[in-house]
Structure 1
Amino acid sequence: MAAQTYTNPVYPDYFADPFVWQHQGVYYAIGTGPAEAAGQVEDRHQRRVFPLLRSHDLIRWEFAGNALQRPDPALGDNFWAPEVAYCDGTFYLYYSVGHEDKRHQLRVATSSNPLGPYQDAGQPLVDPEACAFAIDPSPFQDDDGQWYLFYAQDFLDTEDGVRAGTALVVDRLISMTQLAGEAKVVLRARQDWQRFLADRPMYGGIYDWHTLEGPCVRKYGGQYYCFYSGGRWETDSYGVDYGVAEQVMGPYSDVGNAAGPRVLRSVPGSVLGPGHNSIAVSPDGQADYIVYHAWDTKMEARRMCIDLLHWTPDGPRCQGPTWTPQSL
């Protein structure tokens, strides 16, 4: 059979923070749509949040409705970065909701169908009073069946060379809707390319703010790789790097990225700000593909792209971002 070809983006409409999973031979994708990103959910979707896509080959996608029954509007109008886990016959949709970039909380919703509707479980995963800004929840199941949740939250300290800003943590799920409350730091920003904004007013102070977000964990060769996006999502500094650990709870190290993100980075004049990835297995089960969003050169929309992920002796690398025809 001749190889199929595709050209990025693989879906023409706005579809940021793409998370792809496979269930019973069908690929599903869920992401942040334009209304969710702009805080206009009530105007655009009324009762349902987060666009869903469906595919049989990873490259041809169709819109399949919206996933989440909107929870209490008082929680906010910005809904970001959903991901889905399947456990014991139930689909769990993890997401954040809040008001612009000031207060965001992590929540989970459930459904018996991959396309929903998903019903919110009724309580936050992390206490909003103890953690005012938590985003980008990413569930991961280890080989022994135990589930964990990786996510991003804000830090203000700058000891031992770390930078103030948003960074990554992990906690164990004692059930699919409850965390153990024993979060550990996964990675903190340490590099200039991870800067989000200098002199940013935050929490009553002014900070040189750095950002690590969009965690995605994959176990390979007995090690845990936590992919993440660093920098500012609206600029060409944004890209995908990773940390590696011997244990799922860490410690993780991303040493070696001083020159910039090692997995995906902007290609001036062609692709801007590739990031917030998930990982999907090819239809034949033989290859890993990194699924991410990227801006067009006019920065009109973030759209879903895929590219082959290579596991090299130096760590994971990607042949992308690509914008010309590729073989699947």
Structure 2
Amino acid sequence: MTRACSIVFALLALAGAASAEERATYTNPVYSGGMPDPGVLVHEGTYYAFGTTGADRLADGRVFRVLSSTDLVNWTDHGGALAPPTDDNNKQYWAPEVAYHDGVFYLYYSVGTLHDLNFEIRVATSDSPLGPYKDNGLPLEDGAGAPFFIDGHPYEDDDGQWYFFYAKDFTDTDAGFRAGTGIVVDRLIDMTELAGDPKVVVRARHDWTLFEANRAMPMLGDKMFDWHTIEAPWVVKRDGKYYCFYSGSNFGTTNYGVDYVVADSVMGDYSDQGRYARVLRGVTDLVRGPGHHSIVKATDGKTDVAVYHAWDPNMTRREMCIDPIVWTPYGPRCVGPTVAPVELTPAIQR
């Protein structure tokens, strides 16, 4: 979708909105501190956002910044969510997401080291959405033993069965695939154990997802690849179909953005991969690296809103932004990325 189309959709949304007194206005970023990879949980009318902290510890000694809001616009900082399960300062903590089930909050997160790109996904629990969360002592196990295993997304289907979408590496180029990170889905036996039979959701096929040409991969003996990245799954069910949104390309560039695939069943097969980032993408000299998002309902209970990160102008931190999702005859599109004041109103659903 062109930038002109984005503007048209924004104008249509405003034209069909309620009175000015009922509108909530925001300007991105809605949180200007470091908040990469915002995973958002909605619980009892409150939005809780969890952000990547990397190798840093917050003032309380914990990792994963936690914010809360009742309107998606004004956010309160509550410090860190998780006491690190190790004293190893080389460990990086990425991509937190929280699910609520039977009175327990489950924090899924990626942890590993950058020098060898060896990451796993772990689970921590709490009786409060704000934490503190305690690691349960065991990593989730990928069915194929992937050494790079990140960006877990728990999804509960209508029948109460939970599934787990995550990103892992593939090095083959069979059937037109590109080497790189792709997304799979597996069934959760319980909230802390996978069935061990992951199915491919989406792998790279198109040029726009290139992360780096001639990239040396340390876990593969520094073998060189034109490495593509597809990561950060988030699933929405609409009109009986499962939409797996994902981010692709290099997170530090304007090429980075959000696309989707769609299926009739939660386990797939998924299809309709885009030849470019159709939902959300960067704007040269304006917005760099928008993506790794969550999608939640606005306070009206109808409007889907993407909560995502984008770089500040000096490329020193990734800040948290929001913009509505519009469901068009051509698929979902984000009214953004926006940088001017916007009225968060019910978007026109087509």
Structure 2 length normalisation: TM-score?
A: 0.88
Task: Work out which of the residue numbers 45, 53, 66 in structure 2 matches 1:52.
Answer: 66
Q: Is the 8 A contact 1:75 1:98 kept in 2?
A: no
**Structure 1 Cα separation of the partners of residues 309 and 285 of structure 2:** 16
Structure 1 length normalisation: TM-score?
A: 0.94
Percent identity of the aligned residues?
Answer: 56
Distance change in 2, residues 1:47/1:297 (3 Å): closer
Residue 139 in structure 1 maps to residue 171 in structure 2 = no
Q: Is the 8 A contact 1:199 1:206 kept in 2?
A: yes
1:103-142 aligned at under 5 Å gives the runs 103-126=118-141, 130-142=145-157
Paired residue for 1:3?
A: 23
Paired residue for 2:285?
A: 269
Task: Work out which of the residue numbers 304, 313, 322 in structure 1 matches 2:338.
Answer: 322
Distance change in 2, residues 1:128/1:234 (3 Å): farther
DSSP 3-state at the match of 1:160: helix
Q: Is the 8 A contact 1:75 1:97 kept in 2?
A: no
- CA positional deviation for 1:74: 4.8
**Structure 2 Cα separation of the partners of residues 245 and 209 of structure 1:** 26
Q: Point out 4+ residue stretches in structure 1 off by more than 3 angstroms.
A: 44-47, 73-76
Q: Is the 8 A contact 2:143 2:196 kept in 1?
A: no
Paired residue for 1:12?
A: 32
Residue 72 in structure 1 maps to residue 86 in structure 2 = yes
1:132-211 aligned at under 5 Å gives the runs 132-202=147-217, 203-204=220-221, 205-211=223-229
Q: Residues 131-174 of structure 1: CA distance to partner in whole angstroms, max 9, x if unpaired? A: 11100000000001000010000000000100001110111000
Q: Is the 8 A contact 2:257 2:290 kept in 1?
A: yes
Q: Tell me which amino acid in the other structure corresponds to 1:231.
A: S
DSSP 3-state at the match of 1:121: strand
Q: Tell me which amino acid in the other structure corresponds to 1:313.
A: P
Q: Residues 182-205 of structure 1: CA distance to partner in whole angstroms, max 9, x if unpaired? A: 111110000111000111111121
Q: Is the 8 A contact 2:142 2:149 kept in 1?
A: no
Task: Work out which of the residue numbers 238, 254, 260 in structure 1 matches 2:272.
Answer: 254
**Structure 1 Cα separation of the partners of residues 142 and 177 of structure 2:** 25
**Structure 2 Cα separation of the partners of residues 75 and 297 of structure 1:** 29
Task: Work out which of the residue numbers 292, 296, 301 in structure 2 matches 1:285.
Answer: 301
Task: Work out which of the residue numbers 278, 285, 302 in structure 1 matches 2:318.
Answer: 302
**Structure 2 Cα separation of the partners of residues 132 and 165 of structure 1:** 13
Counting matched residue pairs gives 320
Distance change in 2, residues 1:267/1:220 (3 Å): same
Alignment RMSD: 1.6
Q: Residues 57-81 of structure 1: CA distance to partner in whole angstroms, max 9, x if unpaired? A: 1100010121012112359520000
DSSP 3-state at the match of 1:5: strand
Paired residue for 2:256?
A: 238
**Structure 2 Cα separation of the partners of residues 208 and 165 of structure 1:** 8
Q: Tell me which amino acid in the other structure corresponds to 1:197.
A: E
Q: Tell me which amino acid in the other structure corresponds to 2:45.
A: G
- CA positional deviation for 1:300: 2.1
Q: Is the 8 A contact 1:40 1:77 kept in 2?
A: no
Q: Is the 8 A contact 1:83 1:93 kept in 2?
A: yes
Distance change in 2, residues 1:92/1:198 (3 Å): same
Task: Work out which of the residue numbers 92, 112, 119 in structure 1 matches 2:106.
Answer: 92
Paired residue for 2:232?
A: 214
Q: Residues 92-139 of structure 1: CA distance to partner in whole angstroms, max 9, x if unpaired? A: 000000001610001010000000011111111025992111000000
> Unaligned 5+ residue runs, structure 1?
none
> Unaligned 5+ residue runs, structure 2?
1-20, 345-350
